[in-house]
Amino acid sequence: MQNLLDLDMAGLKAWLAQIGEKPFRANQLLRWIYQRGETDFSAMSDLARVFRERLPTLAEIRLPTIVSDKVSDDGTRKFLMDVGASNLIETVFIPETDRGTLCISTQVGCALDCSFCSTGKQGFNRNLTTAEIIGQLWLANRALGFDPAGDRIISNVVIMGMGEPLANFDALIPALNLMLDDHAYGLSRRRVTVSTSGIVPAMDRLREACPTALAVSLHAPNDALRDVLVPINQKYPLAELMAACKRYLEKAPRDFITFEYVMLDGVNDSFDHAKELLNLVKDVPCKFNLIPFNPFPNSGYETSRPDNIRRFRDVLMQAGYVVTTRKTRGDDIDAACGQLAGDVQDRTAVQQRMDRQRVIMMRSVGAAPSGEKETVND
């Protein structure tokens, strides 16, 4: 039984050809499923009656199940969704005056072990399917509805929830295509942002397959510190990452990369770190998003003091960069950046590994000369 949510336009046309149907049916099906939010084939009135009656024997529209829907005091809304086998993922809607942004997950947990991230501490179970990725947008659209002008509440999508999107590349691309397709959601490439910790080969593939806006989880200005905070850096160090960012901009819908930088007290937030960061990105058109760390139990980190964040921001701004300090949203319902954890049946024993890694003294690593490279023993 084919779940139609797993298929973008190209995939749907190929499937229709296999069952002996005309390719124009793909346009009709996408409009019914995504623009009208219909899951009942019998209600799709412009499909031929014989085709409508045949569809339930060949296909289904199977979505994740919303098991919890919490609303923060600031209006942030967190959906907890069941994707089977006791695995739960989280999707967050962030309302603002000029936009409504949905933060979507791509994996059940995450295998990258970023030391400051609650999702990473939950371990990893599996990749989400295309249907489970696009299904989050489908369900949130249905729950949120339309504004008084008749427009959808969700105007922007950020692939920044649970998991590393580019580690689930084959399921991500069809989901992105559906977000952008005029027969489905019709979002602008500028309004869809993929966030990555820096999987360089996949960044190059994304540039060719479906270039959207790109955010890079940077979090450190040198390899020694980033090796600990973002361990994938040990495989793709900063020089390779910066080069990949420059290549990506050749086809990106925006003329800059957004660098995400979590502010950790005494770890990566000093004046010297800010100056080092400027030197790192000097050849990459970019802007910065500074993220005050959102605490979670046993993280081992504290949020940078407000005066340190302002000082760090000012160093970057005085060098001519656009810098945003992210306002913490949804922290009262654990929906803030770095707090998404869901419920993951871990297959990687990540918690035991991270507990062993915690013996590393972060402050001393943060102060290490940029030429020295600390290693993390697994």
Fold of 65-366: TIM Barrel (3.20.20)
Tell me the pLDDT band of 364, cut-offs 50, 70 and 90. Answer: very low
Nearest CA to 133 out of 163, 101, 93, 154 is that of 163
Nearest CA to 214 out of 162, 255, 263 is that of 255
Res 221: pLDDT: 98
CA 155/CA 74 separation, integer angstroms: 18
Q: pLDDT (tens digit, 9 = 90+) per residue, 141-193?
A: 999 987 777 788 999 999 999 999 999 999 999 999 999 999 999 999 999 99
Nearest CA to 65 out of 165, 136, 144 is that of 136
88: tokens are 């739960």
Res 233: pLDDT: 98
Res 334: pLDDT: 54
Same fold, 2-60 and 65-366: no
Fold of 2-60: DNA polymerase; domain 1 (1.10.150)
Mean pLDDT of 89-100: 93
Q: Are 167 and 107 in contact (CB under 8 A)?
A: yes
- For the chain, give the secondary structure using H, E and C: CEEHHHCCHHHHHHHHHHCCCCCCHHHHHHHHHHHCCCCCHHHCCCCCHHHHHHHHHHEECCCCEEEEEEECCCCCEEEEEECCCCCEEEEEEEECCCCEEEECCCEEECCCCCCCCHHHHCCEEEECCHHHHHHHHHHHHHHHCECCCCCECCCEEEECCCCCHHHHHHHHHHHHHHHHCCCCCCCCHHHEEEEECCCHHHHHHHHHHCCCEEEEECCCCCHHHHHHHCHHHHCCCHHHHHHHHHHHCCCCCCCCEEEEEEEECCCCCCHHHHHHHHHHCCCCCEEEEEEECCCCCCCCCCECCHHHHHHHHHHHHHCCCCEEECCCCCHHHCCCCCCCCCECCCCCCHHHHHHHHCCCCHHHHHCCCCCCCCCCCC
Greater confidence, 343 or 230?
230
The catalytically annotated residue of 90, 132, 164, 260 is 90
CA 76/CA 83 separation, integer angstroms: 22
Question: C-alpha angle with apex 368: 247 to 350, nearest 5 degrees?
Answer: 70
* Domain parsing of the chain, residue ranges: 2-60, 65-366
Res 146: pLDDT: 78
Q: pLDDT (tens digit, 9 = 90+) per residue, 265-313?
A: 999 999 999 999 999 999 999 999 999 998 888 888 999 999 999 999 9
Known catalytic membership, residue 286: no
Across the chain, what does the average pLDDT equal?
A: 88
Tell me the pLDDT band of 347, cut-offs 50, 70 and 90. Answer: low
Known catalytic membership, residue 337: yes
Res 150: pLDDT: 77
Largest distance between two CA atoms of the chain? 71
